[in-house]
Structure 1
Amino acid sequence: MTFISYAQNFEDVRLWRALKQFEHGFYIDVGANDPSHDSVTRAFYDHGWRGVNVEPMQNYYDALCQQRPRDATVQCVASDQPGEMTFYGIPGTGLSTADPAVAQQRKDLGMDVRSLTVKARTLTSICEQYAADRPIHFLKIDVEGHEETVLRGMDFSRFRPWIIVIETPWQRDHTWEHLVTDAGYQSILFDGLNTWFLADEHLSLKPAFDIPPCNLDNFQLCQGHAFAHPLSPNELDTAQQLADALHRAEQAEAQLFALQNSRTVRAVQTLRNVLRRA
């Protein structure tokens, strides 16, 4: 099965190279944004994985709930304290942030920045709820300047993601990096957009990151990917029709799954089995 890459900088290709031998793996995506566009986790979901999406924006939260029924999607901001906080939404982009300085910079650039009050949870509490009894194969963090606060809310002594990917465009000097390395992780790669860390106990995976993604990874870019050739208007129409049809099929599949697992259906099936044996 050809691997379809949705991530903006081949993050999913690198992760798949390291983790493809694990079936039904688990991820946590902090700042999940759109279920498909520039998604680091969509390809893994398509291959049977599941995980937790942390996303405060209502439209993306709704889309994740609809298109990722196996995932747990949490509508909140990951922070160092529970409660409520101000979040700066920039509709239709992946540039929303909880950092007021970053929000002001983007407002000065003419972006439509909207202040929202959202729920905040620590990453530790999210792990306690959804990952208490299972390995976390990778943790991806894309929070537009809010990285340190997210990391201060994570107990790495209790929860040990094998791989951590943190979006850090154009930057290599971070005041927060010691929070990861002091917790038993090694910085192994900067790909121009992200800084990558490996847990000390999983350094055997490091060779998977030694060379960039290449044709030997047997992957294709998803339709409409920024690195792919732009589509013509007719191709765009066809692609949108296919995407709409796929979305309807995914919704129908989710509804069927829910129906098959409902108490009523199970009770009817049990009754049929009893009648057959009678």
Structure 2
Amino acid sequence: MTLISYAQNFEDIRLWRALKQFENGFYIDVGANHPTYDSVTRTFYDLGWTGINVEPMQNFHDALCQQRPNDINLQCVASDHAGELTFYGIPGTGLSTADPATAKARIDLGMDVRPHTVEARTLTSICEQYVHDRPIHFLKIDVEGHEETVLRGMDFTRWRPWIMLIETPWTRDQTWEHLVTDAGYHPVLFDGLNTFYLAEEHLNLKGAFDLPPGNLDGFRLCHGHALSHPVADVDPDTQRQLAAALQRAEYAEAELRAMQKSRAWRAIQKLKKTLRRA
């Protein structure tokens, strides 16, 4: 089966390489944004995984509820305390932030920044309510300057994501990194956008991050990916029909992959082999 990558910088392929042997895995996506475009978790959802999506923007949260009915979709901001805080939305982008300094910098650049009040929750409280004892295979944090506050709201002694990927500046001067390393996580890769951290008890997965994604990973980019070639010289109606057909094919392929990974499917295949031998 062809693996489809939706993530901006092949994050999903790197994670899948490390975690593909685990069925029905679990993720937490803080700053989930759109359920498909540039999504790190869409591939995993299509393959039968589920998780928690934390997304304060109304339009993205609505889309997550519609397209990710098996996920837990929370319209809030992850922070170091519960309550309300000001969130600076930038419609039509993935650049919204709860960090006032980042918001001011984007206002200075002429962006359409719209402040509004949102609910804030700690990751600890979210895990207490929804995670319980299940393993968190990966935690993704993409919050545009709000990373330290998110990390301070997580009890890493109780919940231990196997892998964390956190958006980091190109200069790698993030002041919050000690919160991660002090909690027993090791940086294993900077991909230009994110730093990947492994829990010290899962350092056996490090080899999956040693090489960049390549042909042997058996993946292709989703239709319309920023790194793929656009369809040229095609009228709008044909483009829409093409996009709809590709979406149907991707859904069908994802459902088939999920079915083939199910215990019932494997049991049927095993029974068929037994009957053939008989």
TM-score (norm 1): 0.86
Structure 1 pair 126–235 and aligned structure 2 pair: CA distance change class (3 A): farther
User: Is the aligned partner of 1:8 residue 2:47?
Assistant: no
Alignment correspondent of 1:81: 81
Residue 210 of structure 1 deviates from its aligned partner by 0.4
1:236-255 aligned within 5 A: 237-238=237-238, 240-241=240-241
Q: State the Cα deviation string for residues 46-82 of structure 1 (Å, max 9, x = none).
A: 1000000000000000000000011000000000000
| 1:208 corresponding residue in structure 2 | 208
Match in the other structure for 1:124: 124
Paired with 2:179 and 2:29, the residues of 1 have a C-alpha distance of 19
Query: Does the 8 Å CA contact 1:89/1:116 hold for their aligned counterparts?
Result: yes
Aligned residue runs from structure 1 range 4-153, under 5 A: 4-153=4-153
Q: Is it true that 1:195 corresponds to 2:222 in the alignment?
A: no
Q: Unmatched 5+ residue regions in structure 1? A: 251-278
Quickly say closer, same or farther: Cα 1:91–1:241, change in 2 above 3 A: farther
State the 1:108 CA deviation.
Answer: 1.0
- How much has 1:164 moved relative to structure 2? 0.1
Q: Report the number of matched residues.
A: 251
Q: Report if the CA contact (8 A) 1:223-1:239 is conserved.
A: no
SS at match of 2:234: helix
CA shift at 1:239, angstroms?
Answer: 5.0
Q: 1:31 to 1:203 in 2, by over 3 A?
A: same
- Conserved? CA contact 2:223–2:246, under 8 Å: no
Rounded to whole Å, the distance in 2 between the matches of 1:5 and 1:235 is: 26
Give the Å deviation of 1:237: 4.5
Q: When the two structures are superposed, what TM-score results if normalisation uses the length of structure 2? A: 0.86
CA shift, 1:171, in A, is 2.9
Let me know the Cα RMSD of the aligned residues: 2.0
Amino acid at match of 2:146: H
Q: Does the C-alpha gap of structure 1 residues 19 and 249 become closer, same or farther in structure 2, counting only changes over 3 Å?
A: closer
Deviations 1:111-137 (A, max 9, x none): 110001000000111111111120000
1:232 shift after superposition = 2.4
Q: Percent identity?
A: 76
Measured against aligned partners, the alpha-carbon deviations of 1:80-109 in whole angstroms (never above 9, x if no partner) come to 000000000000000000011111111111
Structure 1 residues 238 and 136, CA gap change in structure 2 (3 angstroms): farther
| 3-state SS of 1:169 partner | coil
> 2: distance between equivalents of 1:180 and 1:23?
27
Give the secondary-structure state (helix, strand or coil) at the position aligned to 2:15: helix
Unaligned ranges ≥5, structure 2: 251-278
The separation in 1 between residues aligned to 2:39 and 2:150, in whole angstroms, is 20
Deviates more, 1:215-224 or 1:235-244: 235-244
